[in-house]
Copies of this chain bind each other. A is one copy, B any other.
Amino acid sequence: MKISFKNDYSEGAHPAILRALVDHNEDQQAGYGEDIYSLKAKELIKNKLKSEQSEIYFVSGGTQANLIVISSILKPYQAVISATTGHILNNETGAIEATGHKILGIETADGKLRPSDIIPILENHKNFPHQVMPKLVYISNSTELGTIYQRKELDELSQFCKEKNLYLFMDGARLAQALTSEINDVNFEDLAELTDVFYIGGTKNGALLGEGIVINNADLQQDFAFNIKQKGALLAKGRILGIQFLELFKDDLYFKLGKNANVQAMKIKNFMTEKGTKFLSDTSTNQIFPILNNSFIEQLSEKFEFYVWQRTDETQSAIRLITSWNTKDSATDQFLNELNKLL
């Protein structure tokens, strides 16, 4: 079996989570998220956020979180602003448009949006009522390119959105990895202040499944549960999500797992950097994009699984390596050994 660096969801769940599912299996609990585990997990997360007014809702996956949040917030004529690398734009089978909303894409170098990226969109959408109204800014942290937002960047973006009457929504499928990056200076609790909505990705950080949507803007909370049910996302056995998030947050397991993903990736990055390898983008989380000779890539792929991301010139390509909450030192070491032999 080859070791896989293709993604961060190729194994099951962290053992502590499985254990908790087994331990609480026989309790008779109320359905649809009214179980005590879900209630406790929500309370715990609110406490970590130090945000009394935030409300938390658990759903199964990222696309589901994105489509429910966005379709619940926007009026029919309102649109989303996203980097063209945004997951909703090209990796979710038109899930947002399927709920009726246009996404306005912005080309960026690093997958991050800044006010200066958004201003032209606003200026080019003033032909009332012939154009959609841009209303919600969608960002990912960490981004689909592995980069992260710094506190100052988030402050500016958040401030800008408030001034322009735009909602700010952060896709946190890889939030743990962002917040535990070496260069991160954003606190978990900052998110309650800086975004209207964000979600805490569980699937890509050690849960079997599950994302925790956090709605900070009280106006957007009203009747939100209807949307979850209507989109088919309200699990009868909501306990499965509650138990997992309780486990992830009670001893900061969530952040420890994110940290491991980053540490393993940085080991590879540092090693390759020393060897003179170039990268497609400068990342600090669990995704790295080294540029390698095609023949070299071929050899590497005999022992490891990963995506060839894009051809960079006639003889070279960037590959994408993803490490995870569950990447063992041994797997990384094997990869480094192989690199050492080949580089």
- Residues of A near any B CB (own CB < 8 A): 1, 3-4, 7, 9-13, 15, 18, 21-22, 24-32, 60-68, 71-72, 75-77, 79, 90-95, 97-103, 127-133, 203-204, 208-209, 223, 225-237, 239-240, 326
Residues of B close to A128: CB separation below 8 A: 225-226
Let me know if B25 and A229 touch, CB within 8 A: no
Residue among B11, B12, B15, B91 making CB contact with A131, cutoff 8 Å: B91
Of the candidates B24, B95, B129, B209, the one whose C-beta lies within 8 Å of that of A236 is: B209
Number of identical monomers bound together in the oligomeric complex? 4
Residues of B within 8 A of A75 (CB): 72, 223, 226
Cα–Cα distance between A234 and B30 once the two chains are bound (Å):
26
Are A236 and B31 closer than 8 Å at their CB atoms?
no
Whether A95 touches B28, Cβ cut-off 8 Å, given contacts A208-B237, A223-B75, A226-B133, is no
Does B9 lie within 8 Å of A27, measured CB to CB? no
A228: B residues at CB distance < 8 A: 129
Give the distance in Å from the alpha carbon of A127 to the alpha carbon of B89 in the complex. Answer: 13
CA distance A283 to B181 in the complex (A): 54
Q: How far is the CB of A234 from chain B (nearest CB, A)?
A: 7
* A-B residue pairs in contact (CB < 8 Å), sample of 27: A9-B31, A10-B29, A11-B26, A11-B27, A12-B21, A18-B25, A21-B21, A60-B233, A61-B235, A62-B236, A63-B229, A64-B232, A67-B231, A76-B98, A76-B227, A77-B229, A93-B130, A93-B226, A94-B101, A94-B102, A94-B132, A95-B232, A129-B229, A130-B229, A203-B235, A208-B240, A231-B232
A338 to B71, CA, bound (A): 49
User: When the two chains form their complex, are residues A94 and B67 in contact, meaning their CB atoms are under 8 A apart?
Assistant: no
- Beyond A11-B27, A15-B25, A60-B209, 4 additional pairs, beta carbon < 8 A: A61-B232, A61-B236, A93-B229, A204-B236
Chain B residues with CB under 8 A of A15? 25
Determine if B225 and A129 form an interchain contact, defined as CB atoms under 8 angstroms apart.
yes
Distance (Å) between the CB of A30 and the closest chain B CB?
A: 7
Given A101-B97, A209-B236, A240-B208, verify A229-B92 contact (CB < 8 Å): yes
With both chains docked as a complex, state the minimum distance between the C-beta of A120 and any C-beta of chain B, in angstroms. 13
In whole angstroms, what is the CA distance A330 to B257 when docked? 42
Pairwise interchain contact B223-A237, C-beta atoms closer than 8 A: no
- Say whether A209 contacts B235, CB under 8 Å: yes
The 7 closest A-B pairs by CB, nearest first: A64-B232, A77-B226, A12-B25, A129-B225, A94-B132, A93-B230, A9-B236
CA of A120 to CA of B230, assembled, Å: 23
Q: Is A4 a contact of B28 with CB atoms below 8 Å? A: yes
Of chain B, the residue at the smallest CB distance from A226 is B77
Q: List chain B residues, Cβ under 8 A from A95.
A: 229-232
A63 and B232 within 8 A (CB): yes
The reply to whether A223 and B61 contact each other, CB–CB distance below 8 Å, is: no
